[in-house]
Amino acid sequence: MSLFPGFREELVAVGGGIDIKAVIGPRRDGPALLFLHGYPQTHAIWHKIAPHFAQRFNVVASDLRGYGDSAKPATTPDHAPYSKRAMAQDQVALMRALGHERFLLVGHDRGGRVAHRLAVDHPQAVTRVAVLDIAPTLAMYEQTNEAFARAYWHWFFLILPAPVPERMIGNDLEGVLPAKMGSGSAGMSPFAPEAWAEYVRCFTPPMVHASCEDYRAAASIDLEHDRADRQAGRKVRAPLLALWGARGVVEKCFKPLDEWRRVADDVRGAALPAGHYLPEEVPELVIQELERFLQ
């Protein structure tokens, strides 16, 4: 059974030898809407959401650089190939290749961080942006405390120098994935078998290394970019919606709306009765919130 009935799959060249995998809805008209996933997932996280919006929008759901079936380029000592700036540029180029100069943008987890960077670096491209279950990266690092470090231990494990986490995860690929994704308040129940099969298929040593580089970039070059934005007064200019799980870590450790208002001009949002994986745990509520926001 297809997770995205009526959608077509494409591997799109976006420049610099990078190909980005995307599933694209059947509509050729209507506003363009891009969905970005998080760790350790792929575009499959949107299978309960994207078909609904494909009725009215020109929907694209892609795999981030380093994830799923998208390219996994070699890294550099400063981790720049996996900076959110580079990952955002991929997505802008993807949408332009598909004929969309301006689009609506929704990102969960790592995809939300890419969406944040994309909205700052390419304000002309983003009409509205929604971020799911994150606070801004810089705020989360600057406010790290014991509770956050215990709950988001993977943030500090994955940034260890290569190949330490890669080897440790590689010793038990089949065990690490459910241990990580099933650790939230809903356990494994949100994940449809077909989507889970995709996550397992894609959780390979190359993706493990690339995703570690994503986190290493977030703890280094991404923070430099975020601090430069703060110093220069650069913010998200597009209207921003923040949704997060009432039973998750973001709710427990941060004040998401306060933090987003420090980096964006026009912010609204709410907690939903769920843990981290909002698009799979409470898809109906996410659809309702997005419907109101994307009008």
CB-based contacts of 259, cutoff 8 Å, min separation 6: 135, 136, 139
Q: Choose the catalytic residue: 63, 109, 226, 229.
A: 109
Task: Report DSSP state, residue 3.
Answer: S
Task: Report DSSP state, residue 244.
Answer: E
| 210 within 8 A of 67, measured Cβ to Cβ | yes
Rounded CA separation 117/130 (Å) = 12
In this structure, the dihedral spanned by the alpha carbons of residues 148, 118, 255 and 245, taken in order and rounded to 10 degrees, is -70
258 is catalytic: no
Q: Three-state SS for 56?
A: coil
Hey, what amino acid is at 1? M
Backbone region of residue 15 per phi and psi (left: phi > 0; alpha: psi in -120 to 50; beta: other values): left
Could you tell me which of 27, 25, 46, 26 has the C-alpha nearest to residue 36?
A: 46
Could you tell me which of 88, 74, 25, 69 has the C-alpha nearest to residue 51?
A: 25
User: Quick one: CA dihedral 134, 138, 144, 150, positive or negative?
Assistant: positive
Q: φ and ψ at 187, to 5 degrees?
A: 60, -140
Q: Choose the catalytic residue: 43, 100, 154, 276.
A: 276
How many Å is the maximal CA-CA distance in the chain? 50
Which residue matches tokens 């956050």? 148
CB atoms within 10 A of CB 251: 16
Hey, what amino acid is at 19? D
109 is catalytic: yes
The DSSP bridge pattern shows strands 126-132 and 240-245 to be parallel
Q: Active-site residues: which are they?
A: 109, 276
